[in-house]
Structure 1
């Protein structure tokens, strides 16, 4: 088995990382959005401990999210195919007609995180609400609203298994379910199937906790800021305010491995389309005195080239 390789990219953003996204076809090309009002496009040099900044795109305000479009040469920032706003709305953008008013759906609370599969859209909101929409049916109904904000019921409405605010949500690549994380140092795993048998499988667990330096036997609890599923193996990574990235087997309910601590809070994670690379965005968070964050020099992007079996589940062949 080839050993894993990790290296730090040169020319990182100068403020906090908000999102990392690999290209759909090229596993060596990825985007980074940042609070420094820029989107960065990088290319990884295969087999070498290096990465190159291809382009830097300026915006008028902090960029909160970014994604690729139909191919590796198309990208969207802020106005995504599906976007959500703190005005309690969910928008579906028609990319074939950018001038057309997006179809909109009213949400009951502020959205905190979105994740999408081939058939489902999961929206995690305030008040521990989780709405699951059937993507195609919802898009068709929302498009019939003629520019008005539609009030559509989700396919499923759930209450988060976690007791505190949801921080991130990520869908399984096989379209079976999703994982959510919270500010309380916990992750929950659930399945879309609403049968009692399937719902009995859901579970939550503690993670991203470190012994209190005072030595009193308690733990310091950190937010779990990021989740990402490996598209090949179906395992997932979690990144926390403790600077730790861990890999988990959702089906076996076990941690596969935990990496050496990064220098600051893990803000974003993303696997490449072939599951071979893991991008890790690191920057000081609120748990690291974010209020005094100066930006430049503190934000770092790491690329980890995974070993052949590094992200495989415990029972995988």
Structure 2
């Protein structure tokens, strides 16, 4: 299926499918340059923000949406990725300084824990049943993925990919790696040194983001050409994998303006997901019903990163210049902020299943 998710939505009343931004609040003292990644703690409403300004900022978010900066630390170059450990005590960040750092939020001590030969595009915590603590996986433009035990200075394993790592996500024992040339590698972390599956992205253009389903049964892929694909790890039947168009303007004559899908985030309880793009909009979708739940008006700038908090009550999104229009597209007045959207009512709830006759 490659039609618009919203084909059925188009017949419902607009008020049902158009979302509201009026309760969204900005995070105070945001980064000074574009935000590259966002992560909420799994145990509390603490938000980590990585930025091209070479800094990682940690904010405490109150129940009313008020935010307070709690800590900040620096890299030597733009920071591209940030993630929390399962217990919420540690933050990992990685970037163009070819390293990953871990900050202990209890002692506020920061240490380098990983190194690559090129930019480290992604760093994620994971835990295995037999490991004695949190492990780290890093993916780099040097075409390798490395595993790290935080108590050792050298990697405990390395996997060589076909191309530079552009995006990576972990859920339970599922690791999904998106590289240049549209390769997608799937790894079972119980057998971490070999690819369980390798496929070419079903989308014809460069992979921008991969994101694991909440239940780790599959993953979503977003491309630079306003499309998203849903892929299951185990092919149940041919109709379970599909792609759809999103983040594109209505056609003008023979031309359709398309935008990059910059981030995809899954709701921790409902398993529904968001897409956000260079067009400055975000949408909530139900992959099982193949339906768009809500679309939102433009926020006035590209959305570069998104995440849900662990309770699924806050959707955070970063607005900033994503260089999709090159050097000329940037200007002093371009917005640069992190916004918190309170999830209201059934915004992210799946549609009631329609019983098949």
1:251 to 279, 283, 288: 288
1:39 to 52, 56, 59: 56
Q: CA deviation at 1:72?
A: 2.1
Q: Counterpart of 2:184?
A: 130
Q: CA deviation at 1:279?
A: 0.5
Q: CA deviation at 1:126?
A: 1.6
Q: CA deviation at 1:294?
A: 5.7
Please give the alpha-carbon distance, in whole angstroms, between the structure 2 residues aligned to 1:286 and 1:316: 40
1:186 to 201, 204, 227: 227
Residues 264 and 35 (structure 1), Cα distance of their counterparts in 2 relative to 1, 3 Å cut: same
State how 1:1-317 maps to structure 2 within 5 Å: 5-26=23-44, 28-46=45-63, 48-78=64-94, 79=100, 80=123, 81-95=136-150, 97-138=151-192, 142=193, 152=194, 154-195=195-236, 197=237, 199-211=238-250, 215-216=252-253, 218-290=255-327, 293=330, 298-315=335-352
Alpha carbons 1:264, 1:288 under 8 Å: kept:
no
Q: CA deviation at 1:248?
A: 0.4
Alpha carbons 1:13, 1:296 under 8 Å: kept:
no
- Count of aligned residue pairs for this structure pair: 295
Q: Secondary structure at the match of 1:307?
A: coil
Please give the alpha-carbon distance, in whole angstroms, between the structure 2 residues aligned to 1:51 and 1:256: 28
Residues 23 and 112 (structure 1), Cα distance of their counterparts in 2 relative to 1, 3 Å cut: same
Please give the alpha-carbon distance, in whole angstroms, between the structure 1 residues aligned to 2:154 and 2:326: 42
Please give the alpha-carbon distance, in whole angstroms, between the structure 1 residues aligned to 2:73 and 2:327: 25
Q: Secondary structure at the match of 1:220?
A: coil
RMSD between superposed Cα atoms in Å: 2.0
Q: CA deviation at 1:287?
A: 3.1
Please give the alpha-carbon distance, in whole angstroms, between the structure 1 residues aligned to 2:310 and 2:226: 28
Please give the alpha-carbon distance, in whole angstroms, between the structure 2 residues aligned to 1:314 and 1:266: 26
Q: Secondary structure at the match of 2:268?
A: coil
Q: CA deviation at 1:181?
A: 0.5
Q: Secondary structure at the match of 1:93?
A: strand
Residues 165 and 201 (structure 1), Cα distance of their counterparts in 2 relative to 1, 3 Å cut: same
Residues 90 and 175 (structure 1), Cα distance of their counterparts in 2 relative to 1, 3 Å cut: same
Please give the alpha-carbon distance, in whole angstroms, between the structure 1 residues aligned to 2:352 and 2:204: 30
Please give the alpha-carbon distance, in whole angstroms, between the structure 2 residues aligned to 1:53 and 1:261: 27
Alpha carbons 2:323, 2:330 under 8 Å: kept:
no
Residues 102 and 53 (structure 1), Cα distance of their counterparts in 2 relative to 1, 3 Å cut: same
Could you tell me which runs of 5 or more consecutive residues in structure 1 were left unpaired when the two chains were aligned.
143-151
- How high is the TM-score relative to the length of structure 2? 0.78
Q: CA deviation at 1:53?
A: 1.4
Residues 159 and 308 (structure 1), Cα distance of their counterparts in 2 relative to 1, 3 Å cut: same
Q: CA deviation at 1:101?
A: 3.2
Alpha carbons 2:31, 2:337 under 8 Å: kept:
yes
Could you tell me which runs of 5 or more consecutive residues in structure 2 were left unpaired when the two chains were aligned.
1-19, 95-99, 101-122, 124-135
Alpha carbons 1:211, 1:217 under 8 Å: kept:
no
Please give the alpha-carbon distance, in whole angstroms, between the structure 1 residues aligned to 2:298 and 2:309: 22
Q: Secondary structure at the match of 1:64?
A: strand
